Amino acid sequence: MVRILTSGLEIAILAIILYYFFVFIRATGAVQALKGLALLLLAFGLARLIRLDVLFSLFSRTFPYLFLAFVIIFAPELRRALAELGRRSIFSSVSVGDRVIDDLVAAAGELSRKKLGALIAVQRDIGLGVWVQSGVVMNSEISRKLLVSIFMPFGPLHDGGVVIKGDRIEAAACLFPFSRKGMPTDGLGMRHKAGLGLAEATDAVVVIVSEEKGSISVAFQARLHRDLSEEELRKMLTEILYPKGK
């Protein structure tokens, strides 16, 4: 009886590990890398099967380094995936009120109409301290007017990103990491690449306003959602920040 329970537990744990592995693969750009790894494993098996001793020896020595390279290349995605797994537990680090969504949507709409470029990240469970330190710390109460004023042309803080934590603007003029993915170039500039880069490295939701077209986009979970209306932006922010309808 104990052996049956132990086997069942092992199967359940393995199923959970496989589930989150495939969720990670789908959420990142690791699909092509996984295909390449599968081809190498196939070549390794064939070398073993038909007794190609030199190739088999070479593959045996190389595979540990390939695994290390995979971990290094996809370190940001692995960090985000592990943080997302931890977020499903009982812990919660940052709460965002309805006012934040209202002010953020209103500011994005005004910036869009005026065609003023903007880059605004809302912190969730993964801290953004590294990028906050790259900017100017504000620790100010959030408001539509303040957000719009930050991104006014020729202002000292307009060239960079804003970080919102809870109901406060934590910092402005922050430098976000650029995306490592290939992107279509039509209508997309440095702000989109920086917003998507932060969404690849963390679980933050990033609102981007195009200076050229005035369009509103959202970067989240390594994906860019483009050409959103104010209502679509509000709905998306609500679904992300209140996934259980809080």
* pLDDT per position as a tens digit, 118-166: 999 999 888 888 899 899 999 999 999 999 999 998 888 888 999 999 8
Q: Which domains does the chain have, with CATH numbers?
A: 2-87 (no CATH), 98-241 (3.40.1700.10)
160-178, pLDDT tens digit by residue?
A: 999 999 889 999 999 999 8
The dihedral built from the CA positions of residue 126, 185, 175 and 101, taken in this order, carries a sign that is negative
C-alpha span between 166 and 125 (Å, rounded)? 11
CA atoms within 13 A on the CB side of 98: 2
Q: Classify residue 106 as exposed, middle or buried by CB count within 10 Å of its CB (0-12, 13-18, 19+).
A: middle
Q: Work out the number of other CB atoms within 10 angstroms of the CB of residue 82.
A: 13
pLDDT at 18: 67
Which of 45-54, 178-187, 220-229 ranks highest by mean pLDDT?
220-229
DSSP assigned state of 126? S
Between 67 and 28, the higher pLDDT residue: 67
C-alpha span between 31 and 24 (Å, rounded)? 10
Between 184 and 141, the higher pLDDT residue: 141
pLDDT at 126: 81
C-alpha span between 52 and 46 (Å, rounded)? 8
DSSP assigned state of 176? P
pLDDT at 82: 58
Between 6 and 198, the higher pLDDT residue: 198
C-alpha span between 12 and 17 (Å, rounded)? 9
| Average pLDDT for the chain | 80
Between 104 and 93, the higher pLDDT residue: 104
Which of 9-23, 82-96, 119-133 ranks highest by mean pLDDT?
119-133
Q: What is the pTM of this model?
A: 0.66
